[in-house]
Amino acid sequence: MNKAYKSGFAALIGRPNVGKSTLMNCIIGQKIAITSKKPQTTRNRIQTVYTCEEGQIVFVDTPGIHKAKNKLGNYMVNVAQHSLREVDVVLWIVEPTDYIGAGEQHIIEQLKKVKAPVILVVNKIDTVKKEQLLGYIDTYRKQLDFAEVVPVSALKNDNTQVLIAQIMKYLPCGPAFYDEDTVTDQPVRQIVAELVREKVLSNIDEEIPHGVAVMIEGMKYGRKFVDIDATIVCERDSHKGIIIGKGGQMLKKIGSLARAEIEDLLEQHVNLRLWVKVKKDWRDSDFLIKNFGYDARENE
């Protein structure tokens, strides 16, 4: 192994919907974290691994920092804030703008307490003119002393290798944490559940998706198929009807879209069976939050 080999942890932090999960998936070259135009998509701290000749970066994709409205929201914010205290470098992902809102100001206050170097990552540069970019970067530079500033487009995979090189500068020398073939520490069942939830997010309007969780009841590997039983949990009887749809059409659509991506993940044909259950106000139930895989006590 190269004597100068580096390895460490990099946290992705930012407001909901700035493209943290998209950026991480882009760098890894594989879909691990779900993405959606709806905010607060990521709920857990997801670790993915990027390995190259120079070293290994363990990316920690955190939930977006936002004002919590329930116990699940408190859990998500705790996860994000806890991650900042554990890593070697922090990537603050922002959109190209000259407006610093209350949400960004809250993150700035959090970052002022961080001991690790902070890299400003200006994402979505494909959505603005190049001559505007310097002005947007200058707006953020006035707020905090950044170790580096890197403009990228996660969607277009533009400038991501430059970002990798900048991250490597701030990692300590040391052996890899994971085998070079490892891309995530997430159990397959959890990734599958999240892929199903993503299809609910992308096909159901308004507030319903925020009250949805997915539980994998069973996964059985056969020679030709993987049989998967999954339950979509929602908070209201009316929500259940919308998720199922007229004649079951919406549930069939969700299942079909999810199955295609699960087959890509598992590299095997999948038989996906979906059910929908109602658990009223589960986002404010400590028991159900933990039962669905979110345990805030782990991050205290």
- Mean pLDDT per block of 10 residues along the chain (300 residues) reads 81 83 84 53 68 92 56 54 78 93 86 92 94 93 95 94 96 92 81 88 71 87 91 88 93 95 89 92 64 48
Strands of 269-278's sheet in order across: 213-221, 225-234, 269-278
Q: What is the DSSP letter of 125?
A: G
* Tokens matching residue 168: 């490597």
Instruction: Give the residue ranges of DSSP H helices in 220-285.
Output: 237-244, 249-266
What is the residue whose two structure tokens read 């890299």? 119
- pTM tops 0.85, yes or no: no
Which pLDDT tens digit goes with each residue over 233-264? 888 888 899 999 999 999 999 999 999 989 98
Domains present along the chain, CATH in parentheses: 6-169 (3.40.50.300), 188-299 (3.30.300.20)
Q: Give the pair of three-digit tokens for residue 26.
A: 């882009």
Please tell me the distance from the alpha carbon of residue 233 to that of residue 36, in angstroms, as a whole number: 19
Spatial neighbors of 185 by CB under 8 A, at least 6 apart, are 47, 49, 178
**Pairing, β 55-61 against β 46-51:** antiparallel
* pLDDT at residue 78 in the model: 58
The confidence score (pLDDT) of residue 39 equals 45
What local confidence, expressed as pLDDT, does residue 201 receive?
84
Give how far the C-alpha of residue 105 lies from the chain's centroid of Cα atoms, to the nearest Å. 21
> Which pLDDT score is estimated for 66?
44
**Angle, alpha carbons 205-285-64 (nearest 5°):** 50
Crossing angle of helices 188-203 and 249-266, in 10° steps, is 140
Confidence (pLDDT) at 2: 52
Q: Which pLDDT value is given to residue 258?
A: 94
Closest CA to 61 of 80, 75, 78, 77: 80
The CA distance from 174 to 186, in Å, is 23
Q: What is the pLDDT of residue 20?
A: 83
Q: Which of 236, 14, 258, 5 has the alpha carbon at shortest distance from 119?
A: 14
Q: What angle do CA 117, 119, 122 make, to 5 degrees?
A: 165
**What is the pLDDT, as a whole number, of residue 232?**
92
CA distances from 203 to 12, 209, 250 (A): 26, 9, 8
Residue 32 contacts residue 41 (beta carbons within 8 Å): no
| 149: Cα separation from own chain's centroid | 21
Query: In 128-164, which positions are buried (b, 16+ CB within 10 angstroms) versus exposed (e)?
Result: beeeeeeebbebbeebeebebebbbbbbeeebbeebb
How confident is the model over 34-60, as pLDDT tens digits? Answer: 554 444 444 556 678 899 999 999 998
**What pLDDT sits at residue 14?**
83
Distance CA(216)–CA(195), nearest Å, equals 11
